[in-house]
Amino acid sequence: MARVKPWGLVLVALCMTSLSSLVNGAGAGAGSIASFVFGDSLVDAGNNNYLQTLSKANIPPNGINFKASGGRPTGRFTNGRTISDIVGEELGVPNYAVPYLAPNSTGKVILYGVNYASGGGGIMNATGSIFVNRLGLDIQIDYFNNTRKQLDGLLGPSEAKDYISNKSIFSITIGSNDFLNNYLLPLLSTGTRISESPDAFVDDMINHLRNQLTRLYQLDARKFVVGNVGPIGCIPYQKTINQLSENQCVGLANKLAMQYNLQLKDLLTELNGKLQGAIFVYANVYDLVMELIANYAKYGFTTASRACCGNGGQFAGIIPCGPTSSLCEDREKHVFWDPYHPSEAANRIIARQLVYGSTKYISPMNLTQLRNL
């Protein structure tokens, strides 16, 4: 199960309107675009199914509303589609980006894009060690390097470079685990908190991410969407273990998220000025999710505190979603699917803001505009 990763954010399998020209012809057709997805369990499409890990979602009732699988679990940490899945559909993609570790992730299928995300993964390599195995961002980028070479073979070096640079979007949804399954992890992280201040830990995260994004740039990536960390202090797990009321959130967790988010925004501004030809878009997931939590009734939800699938405590927030979990009757009415992740209903709202929304939530442009550049 992928403890906590709510939002770190989001993205995308994008518009492959002329995939047939890719599959049947020599190169990428006009108007086609691919999605390369990096991150944690918010956007994991099944990579953890192929790892010996404690962070898995390949058991029911996960995926119960995922039409593409007939309601069977796929390894997605929600009841239906992830934010990436929905964004891709909104932008016209006929297929979801294939998980890198899946046996069928070779050949022409990678021309849609590839999903490298892993439940439990983080920016820092130590993040998520409690799960035994997971793919951190460094490893995910190693895997993209392999894909990059495969694209050279499929399209030829010149066209592959153009395809990656001009017709592909790179989404990074990561960071929540670095707090909740690293720096703030009860007992196991005590030594880290003694030896490293919150300021120093956030600085360390930003420095690692700077190097990671620069590495993707050096592999010809140019269009980026990077999600900030959501209000991790407001998820059912945090509310339950801290015995909070419905309208309360854990202050320290949210404070750290906001501190990181400010520095992330500055980092993306820095890279936009420094890396020639690159476009880094900042997805403000924190404010978007806080809007859903604060005004849930306005969006048709009945609760933004209780997990639809889970057990334990006032908000069903301790035991991860599984076959023996309690399950809500109307999954459209819960902001949270399980103790850590949003429902498909919440993902739809988030995704559409990223695709069509204003600079309040995605800046300097939305994903439709980024796709069309």
Catalytic residue numbers, as ranges:
41, 338, 341
Q: How far apart are CA 309 and CA 337, in angstroms?
A: 6
H or E segment to which residue 225 belongs = strand 223-227
Q: Can you read off the two tokens belonging to residue 112?
A: 């849609």
Candidates 29, 57, 60; CA nearest to 41 is 57
Query: 175 to each of 42, 66, 151, 195, 230, how far by Cα in Å?
Result: 11, 26, 28, 20, 9
Q: What angle do CA 96, 366, 9 make, to 5 degrees?
A: 55
Q: Identify the helix (H) or strand (E) that includes residue 37.
A: strand 34-39
Task: Give the Cα separation of 148 and 216 in Å (integer).
Answer: 10
Question: If you count them, how many residues does the chain have?
Answer: 373
CA distance 216 to 226: 13
Surface-to-core class of residue 112, CB atoms within 10 Å of its CB (0-12 exposed, 13-18 middle, 19+ buried)? buried
Cβ atoms of residues 205 and 260 within 8 Å: yes
**Edge-to-edge strands of the sheet including 223-227?**
98-99, 113-115, 34-39, 168-173, 223-227, 279-283, 362-363
SS3 49: helix
322 burial (CB, 10 Å; 0-12 / 13-18 / 19+) is middle
- How many whole angstroms separate alpha carbon 329 and alpha carbon 252? 33
If you ran DSSP here, which 8-state letter would residue 108 be given? G
Indicate the angle between helix axes 137-155 and 157-166, nearest 10 degrees: 130
- In this structure, what token pair is assigned to residue 153? 């073979």
